[in-house]
Chains A and B, each alone.
Chain A
Amino acid sequence: MERNLMKGNEALAEAAIRAGCKCFFGYPITPQTELAAYMAKRMHKAGGVFLQAESEIAAINMVLGAASTGVRAMTSSSSPGVSLKSEGVSYIAGSDLPAVIINVQRGGPGLGGIQPSQADYWQATKALGHGDFQLLVYAPASVQEMVDYVVKAFDRADKYRMPAMILADGLLGQMMEPVSFPEINPNAYDKSGWAANGHKNSREHHIINSLYLKPDELEKSIVDRYKKYDIIKETETEAELYLTEDCDVLVCAFGATARVVKSAVNDARALGIKAGLFRPKTLWPFPVKEINEAAKSAKKLLSVEMSMGQMVDDIKLAINCSKPVEFFGRTGGVIPTPAEVLDEIKRLGGSL
């Protein structure tokens, strides 16, 4: 397969178009702007719609409108912009609409910074908007995975009629790596049973809606959605397990941080410390089975994140606090170095 050299942000855009995304609505923000610029250049030629919205709020609601008609739609932003989108994401979830949202994370809170961060883990996995709902969250760690998971996100969003997010970061968005585009033949999901695209006087009218004024009706809609979530938790988890079979120290990291950790794990192995890497590729659903498998021989776990420690809670829950789980992180846009992580591994490995 031909290898191209592309920035992560551009690869996300190209993959979306190839996955059958027919419209992109966005608003400029560093460090994801290349994605919108790429869409502006390519989307029209690909027979789709690119529109720069007046705000993140408008952009996500344009996605809601397009998705309501059964069209594959996407928006992208970076942390502060994703906060603005949260209202729309909640409505999309509540209306059972498929959509793809990309967050190329930067440091927060507030205006924060523009350097890479993973401090939106909680937002993505726990609370991207009000109400009882989840979205699928994929955490690529390479430009190639940006491509692969955008394709998957569109598919699963359609399959389950729910929003899916790519949780990337500034480092993955800005870096270039070789990437190949697989032959993509998007699954065609039949949306004729619900899409609001004009009934042509041949069916009952369709209503796309998240309002239920009767509590028992609202409860039923949510319970039904959670039944779907149960299936997703059972079938959609994905993780990479690296050198975990005999590991004493299991280091857990996702996205760009996992690359730093992999270097550190290799360095630790060279020093004779049995370190391994657990990398969740889906953050929701969290790969519970997989982490328990990875942690079998481990005496201690370490979560490394570009935040003050957000995934670390999910790790403790996933292993039911059966082993000590420690945390190391850098935040505010500072990228942890392999040497720093190695020091942490040594500290944990040495105290075994």
Chain B
Amino acid sequence: MAVVFERPKSLIDIPTHYCPGCTHGIVHRILCEVIDEMGIEGDTIGVCPVGCSVMAYDYFNCDMIEAAHGRAPAVATGVKRTNPDKFVFTYQGDGDLAAIGTAETVHVATRGENIVVIFINNTIYGMTGGQMAPTTLPDQVTQTTPFGRDPKLAGFPVKVCEMLSTLTGTALAQRVAVDSVPHIREAKKAIRKAFENQKAGRGFSIVEVLSTCPTNWGLAPLDAIKRLQDEMIPYYPLGVYKDVTEGVFDNLKGGNE
């Protein structure tokens, strides 16, 4: 009987620790499909964050490194600079990437570091039990914004793709979502493009994935998907924010755009 659907080889066959309805599993899967399709598992080194995906090193079958909170881009830089022929990716959440690791994120991008960053934006700290993230929406209730995020008190959300697309070193900045089949297909295409960029040495690529957190949002999985569609996508519009097909170092005049 012809096999039409199977687990990607680079995704290890063990139960994950993610909550029911969490979209990490979808992103893990499409990332591993890309790794399989490109045949690069043996030449790929992944870097995990601190957050819900802290233990992703147990799920990806390539070599993995667990970084300190926010430091995955620096760790990935150390790996890539000493192993330029390998594929290097980080997998980071919003607190890791856009709060404690903002400096590492901005500088890995402006250096045009030839790596891929998969950025999971679910507007909340999941692992620690639902506190405000840098991407938490205005008025969103979390454990540390019990009356809703008031920008006057807690500032505004960080729009990561918009911010990083201003940097010359960024080759690809694209925001996708995993709320529907067409969007998931789009997300996988973006991840593939990011890895192709790395293969071609085009520079820094980030794919921001709008994701859900049913547990900490206090919503059933389907309601969580609905919130992503109704509240998150309007605030964080999907699309390609930057796509430098010729590579960021092809025009060395520099200067941030």
Task: Map CB proximity to B onto A184-227 as digits: 1 under 8 Å, 0 otherwise.
Answer: 00000000000011111110011111110000000000000000
Q: Is B47 an interface residue (CB 8 A)?
A: yes
**Residue pair A54, B103 in contact (C-beta under 8 Å):** yes
One of A7-15, A62-70, A289-297 at the interface: A62-70
Partner of A49, one of B44, B71, B81, B104: B81
Q: Number of contacting residues on A, CB 8 A?
A: 40
Q: Is B74 an interface residue (CB 8 A)?
A: yes
**Residue pair B71, A88 in contact (C-beta under 8 Å):** yes
Q: Is A167 an interface residue (CB 8 A)?
A: no
The interface residues of chain A lying within 8 Å CB-to-CB of B107 are 53-54, 58
Task: Map CB proximity to A onto B22-42 as digits: 1 under 8 Å, 0 otherwise.
Answer: 000000000000000000011
Question: A63 CA to B73 CA in the complex, in Å?
Answer: 12
Q: Is A22 an interface residue (CB 8 A)?
A: yes
**Residue pair B103, A197 in contact (C-beta under 8 Å):** no
Question: A57 CA to B64 CA in the complex, in Å?
Answer: 21
Given contacts A69-B45, A207-B57, contact A199 B81 (CB under 8 A): no
Closest 3 CB pairs of A and B: A65-B78, A61-B74, A62-B78
A70 nearest in chain B by CB position: B82
Question: A198 CA to B74 CA in the complex, in Å?
Answer: 18
Q: Chain A nearest CB: distance from B43 CB in Å?
A: 5
Question: A269 CA to B94 CA in the complex, in Å?
Answer: 66
| Chain B residues in the interface with A (C-beta under 8 A) | 41-45, 47, 54-55, 57-58, 60-68, 71, 73-83, 86, 103-104, 106-107
Question: A30 CA to B64 CA in the complex, in Å?
Answer: 36
**Residue pair A55, B78 in contact (C-beta under 8 Å):** no
**Residue pair B42, A200 in contact (C-beta under 8 Å):** yes
A204 nearest in chain B by CB position: B61
Given contacts A58-B103, A61-B71, contact A66 B78 (CB under 8 A): yes
**Residue pair B79, A65 in contact (C-beta under 8 Å):** yes
The interface residues of chain A lying within 8 Å CB-to-CB of B57 are 207, 209
Q: Chain A nearest CB: distance from B175 CB in Å?
A: 24
**Residue pair B74, A22 in contact (C-beta under 8 Å):** no
**Residue pair A87, B82 in contact (C-beta under 8 Å):** no
B69 nearest in chain A by CB position: A87
Instruction: Name, among A65, A68, A91, A210, the residue most crowded by chain B CB atoms within 10 Å (CB to CB).
Output: A65
The interface residues of chain B lying within 8 Å CB-to-CB of A95 are 66
**Residue pair A63, B78 in contact (C-beta under 8 Å):** yes
Question: A223 CA to B79 CA in the complex, in Å?
Answer: 29
Partner of B65, one of A51, A53, A88, A208: A208
Question: A207 CA to B41 CA in the complex, in Å?
Answer: 14
**Residue pair B75, A68 in contact (C-beta under 8 Å):** yes
8 Å CB interface, A13-66 against B: 22-23, 25, 49, 51, 53-55, 57-59, 61-66
The interface residues of chain A lying within 8 Å CB-to-CB of B79 are 65-66, 68-69, 196
Q: Chain A nearest CB: distance from B147 CB in Å?
A: 33
